[in-house]
């Protein structure tokens, strides 16, 4: 935020609370189609439940495919939200202030979306609760040595903690909305949600402390979650999966993909709600620089994977990587390399980092590239294992694609509801970065 | 005897708010409450508050989470021992992940509880002396005092630039 800003405290309140006014036609034009696509996704899921898992394209040897790809993709998307809200908070990076609420909302909704996929992937979805440890008649307990159970704990904790972080961060802002709105139903809802917040020195004292602890918890948590997700693969003895670089590789990829989606979401919001004074070019440049960093780490991992496979001397391992680059799925592999390693190189130019349109286009490439990265890791590895006689090709079906499209719509539906009901830019933190009003300054 | 009267001064500037707090403290009024639209370090410093006790909630929650995670994984493994290839029944390294996740989960929940309890965020409507402008752009200093002290408080508030003064019973 530059010092010559024209924003004042009451203008911040006014501008941000104005976003919650009656939905415009543009908003409805986005909301109604997403609702329709959610409906289509739901139809596909019900069709799969009714008919059986055969309608998904699973065939030997590929029994983890698009659903697990989506799971890993959405968990990954969530990560940059926590990076922006918690890690950059601990580092006191000021460019996070105006975008972190959007990023945090994205985290919560992305984990919410991700959590659906292991259940969709189950043949008998109604038995999903078998994953939780609960006393039962058979006196059986879950196997805590299984990475899939670690996943349940990691993703469950992540959803809970990021939802708390998201809500607590909003309490002072909800109080500000409560004090401004007049119409009865809204006033009552915001009054209840604000928990009677007044902004007294005691409240702020405990609040700032608690917020620091949430950030301190969220930081190692976010690193653990995607490490655990990567171990779903790395713990298995399959060429292409069984490697020690998976945890850092996945975490960097997660943050990379999430930053891409933050930009994809922020650009239209900034334009539709005229938030140019709040979400500045500096904010975008900060994110673009982080993309350069994470893209480099991901690219490095792509190279190291090949080196490890070659150096291991294992024909199955080396064969797997040659298959990735030149086999049946080579197109997907090169799409991934192009989107994740080549396109982000453009961001080395300052001019491009500060050009919103180009950034938006690059962010879409990143989203596509990262989705394919997950697909490549999961599907290509499974289709080309140790035993040549057991190799096989998997193709997604319309049911799987329908559910995938539905999941994107589900995410956007929540996000669109969010921008119309809750403050999408933090009111109190925006005030922290504005110049403090002083009587002395006024007198001069 | 407890103070029975609240006097609120409303300010637009941080420096005049800080000045007011200083002069009130000098005059012996220690029972102050300050409202601000965002946390401000200058105000925090001049109020000289004790460290927040939320940290003890966090610590207690985190320790409890670690103990729960550890005992739960170990006891359930021993409850129905499945011996596979003479591998250990209780295998600590994978359990560390559960211990870690539960440490974070319980720690975060306890922090939330600590925040709600200590900030008294239990009521839905702001009670007592409050002005909706405190969530927008005004700072408020509330002095709890006895009736006979009101003129003195009023004088200090006015002297340091309060734009508005209100009285309310506590």
Q: State pLDDT tens for residues A384-411.
A: 989 899 898 999 999 999 999 999 999 9
Q: Which residue has the tokens 């596509």?
A: A368
Q: What is the pLDDT of residues A20-53, one digit of tens each?
A: 788 888 889 889 999 999 999 999 999 999 998 8
Nearest C-alpha neighbor of A427 from the set B52, B121, B136, B14: B136
- Residues counted in chain B: 170
Residue B140's closest chain A neighbor by CA?
A200
Q: Which of B101, B118, B132, B143 should be substituted to probe chain A, the one whose Cβ sees the most A Cβ atoms within 10 Å?
A: B101
Q: What was the ipTM of the complex prediction?
A: 0.89
Selected residue of B20, B33, B39, B83 to mutate for chain A interface (largest A Cβ count, 10 A): B39
DSSP state of A62: B
What are the structural domain ranges in chain B? Answer: 5-50+128-169, 54-118
At A199 the pLDDT is: 83
Beta strand pairing call for B32-35 and B164-169: unpaired
Asked whether residue A203 carries a pLDDT value surpassing 70, the answer given is yes
**How many whole angstroms separate alpha carbon A371 and alpha carbon A376?**
9
Interface test with B, best of A181, A200, A221 (most B CBs within 10 A): A200
Do B37 and A9 count as a contact with CB atoms less than 8 A apart? yes
Residue A209 at interface with chain B, using a CB cutoff of 8 Å: yes
Residues of B in contact with A152 (CB under 8 A): none
Overall size of chain A counted in residues: 444
* Chain B interface includes A198 (CB < 8 A): yes
Contact B35 A198 (CB under 8 A): yes
For residue A2, the model assigns a pLDDT of 44
Q: What is the pLDDT confidence band of residue B139, given thresholds at 50, 70 and 90?
A: confident
Evaluate whether A383 touches A60 at the Cβ level (below 8 Å).
Answer: no
Q: How far is CA A236 from the centre of its chain?
A: 25
Structure confidence at residue A425 (pLDDT): 86
Instruction: Judge whether residue B123 has pLDDT over 80.
Output: no
Chain A residues near residue B30 by CB distance under 8 angstroms: none
Cis peptide before A245 (omega within 30 of 0): no
CA B90/CA B73 separation, integer angstroms? 8
Average pLDDT over chain A, rounded to an integer:
88
Q: Provide the pLDDT for residue B127.
A: 58
Mean predicted confidence (pLDDT) in A142-147? 88
Banded model confidence at residue A164, pLDDT cuts 50, 70, 90:
very high
- Report the range of poorest mean pLDDT among B59-68, B103-112, B147-156: B147-156
Which of A182-186, A311-315, A337-341, A359-363 is least confident? A182-186
CB–CB of A206 and B52 under 8 A? yes
Tens of pLDDT, residue by residue over A88-114, are 888 777 777 788 888 889 999 999 999
Q: Is A421 within 8 Å of chain B by CB?
A: no
Q: Is the pLDDT confidence value at B169 over 80?
A: no
Q: Which residues pair with B119 in a beta bridge?
A: none
pLDDT at residue A187 tops 90: no
- The rounded Cα B61 to chain-centroid distance in angstroms is 17
User: Average per-residue pLDDT in chain B?
Assistant: 83
End-to-end CA distance of chain A: 23
Q: Which of A38-47, A266-275, A354-363 has the least mean pLDDT?
A: A266-275
Q: Look up tokens 């997907």; give the residue.
A: A332
Residue B49 in this model has a pLDDT that exceeds 70: yes
Residue B106's pLDDT is 95
Cross-chain residue pair A207–B39, CB shorter than 8 Å: yes
Residue A66 near residue A216, CB atoms below 8 Å: no
Across the interface, whether the CB atoms of A431 and B37 are under 8 A apart is answered yes
How distant, in Å, are the alpha carbons of A61, A65, A238, A368, B115 from that of A120? 19, 12, 24, 22, 37
Q: Which CATH superfamily is domain A9-20+57-396+422-437 in?
A: Formate dehydrogenase/DMSO reductase domain (1.20.1630.10)
pLDDT at residue B28 greater than cutoff 80: no
d(CA A149, CA B72): 14
For residues B12 and A437, the answer to whether their CB atoms sit within 8 Å is: yes
Angle A82-A75-A88 (CA atoms, 0-180°, nearest 5)? 15
Architecture of domain B5-50+128-169: 2-Layer Sandwich (3.30)
Q: How many angstroms separate the CA atoms of A72 and A225, rounded?
A: 11
Q: What is the pTM of this model?
A: 0.91
């Amino acid at each position: 935020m530059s010092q010559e800003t024209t924003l004042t405290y009451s203008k911040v309140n006014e501008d941000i609370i104005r976003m919650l006014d009656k939905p415009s036609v543009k908003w409805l034009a986005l909301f109604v189609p997403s609702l329709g696509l959610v409906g289509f996704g739901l139809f596909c899921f019900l069709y799969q439940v009714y008919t059986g898992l055969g309608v998904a394209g699973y065939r030997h040897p590929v029994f983890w495919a698009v659903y697990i790809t989506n799971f890993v993709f959405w968990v990954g998307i969530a990560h940059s939200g926590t990076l922006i809200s918690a890690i950059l908070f601990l580092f006191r990076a000021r460019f996070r202030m105006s975008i972190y609420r959007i990023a945090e909302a994205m985290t919560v909704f992305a984990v919410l979306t991700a959590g659906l996929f292991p259940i969709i992937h189950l043949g008998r979805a109604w038995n999903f609760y078998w994953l939780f440890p609960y006393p039962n008649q058979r006196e059986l307990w879950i196997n805590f040595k299984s990475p899939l159970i670690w996943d349940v704990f990691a993703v469950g904790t992540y959803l809970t903690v990021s939802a708390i972080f998201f809500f607590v961060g909003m309490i002072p802002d909800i109080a500000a909305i409560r004090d401004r709105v007049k119409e009865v139903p809204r006033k009552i809802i915001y009054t209840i949600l604000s928990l009677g917040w007044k902004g007294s020195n005691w409240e702020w004292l405990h609040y700032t402390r608690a917020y620091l602890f949430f950030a301190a918890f969220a930081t190692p948590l976010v690193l653990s979650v995607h490490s655990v997700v990567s171990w779903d693969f790395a713990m298995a003895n399959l060429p292409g999966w069984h490697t020690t670089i998976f945890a850092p590789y996945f975490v960097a990829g997660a943050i990379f993909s999430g930053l891409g989606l933050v930009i994809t979401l922020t650009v239209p919001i900034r334009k539709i709600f005229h938030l140019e004074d709040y979400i500045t070019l500096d904010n975008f440049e900060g994110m673009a620089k982080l993309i350069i960093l994470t893209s480099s780490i991901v690219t490095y991992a792509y190279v190291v994977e090949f080196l490890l496979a070659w150096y291991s001397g294992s024909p199955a391992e080396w064969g797997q990587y040659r298959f990735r680059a030149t086999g049946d799925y080579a197109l997907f592999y090169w799409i991934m390399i192009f989107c994740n390693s080549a396109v982000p190189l453009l961001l080395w130019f300052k001019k491009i980092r500060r050009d919103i349109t180009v950034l938006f286009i690059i962010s879409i490439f990143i989203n596509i590239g990262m989705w394919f990265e997950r697909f490549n890791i999961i599907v290509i590895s499974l289709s080309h294992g140790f035993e040549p006689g057991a190799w096989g090709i998997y193709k997604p079906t319309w049911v799987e694609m329908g559910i995938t499209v539905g999941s994107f719509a589900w995410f956007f539906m929540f996000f669109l509801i969010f921008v119309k009901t809750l403050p999408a830019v933090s009111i109190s933190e925006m005030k922290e970065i504005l110049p403090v009003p002083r009587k002395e300054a006024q007198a001069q | 005897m407890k103070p029975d009267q609240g006097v609120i001064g409303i300010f637009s500037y941080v420096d005049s708010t800080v000045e007011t707090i200083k002069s009130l403290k000098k005059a012996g009024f220690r029972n102050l409450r300050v409202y601000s639209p965002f946390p401000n370090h200058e105000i925090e410093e001049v109020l000289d508050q004790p460290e927040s006790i939320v940290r003890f909630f966090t610590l207690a929650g985190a320790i409890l989470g670690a103990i729960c995670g550890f005992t739960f994984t170990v006891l359930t493994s021993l409850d129905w021992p499945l011996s596979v290839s003479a591998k250990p029944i209780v295998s600590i390294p994978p359990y560390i992940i559960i211990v870690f996740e539960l440490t974070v989960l319980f720690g975060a929940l306890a922090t939330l509880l600590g925040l709600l309890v200590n900030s008294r965020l239990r009521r839905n409507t702001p009670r007592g002396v409050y002005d909706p402008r405190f969530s927008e752009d005004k700072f408020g200093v509330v002095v709890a005092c006895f009736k006979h002290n009101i003129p003195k408080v009023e004088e200090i508030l006015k002297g340091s630039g309060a734009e508005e003064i209100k009285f309310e019973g506590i």
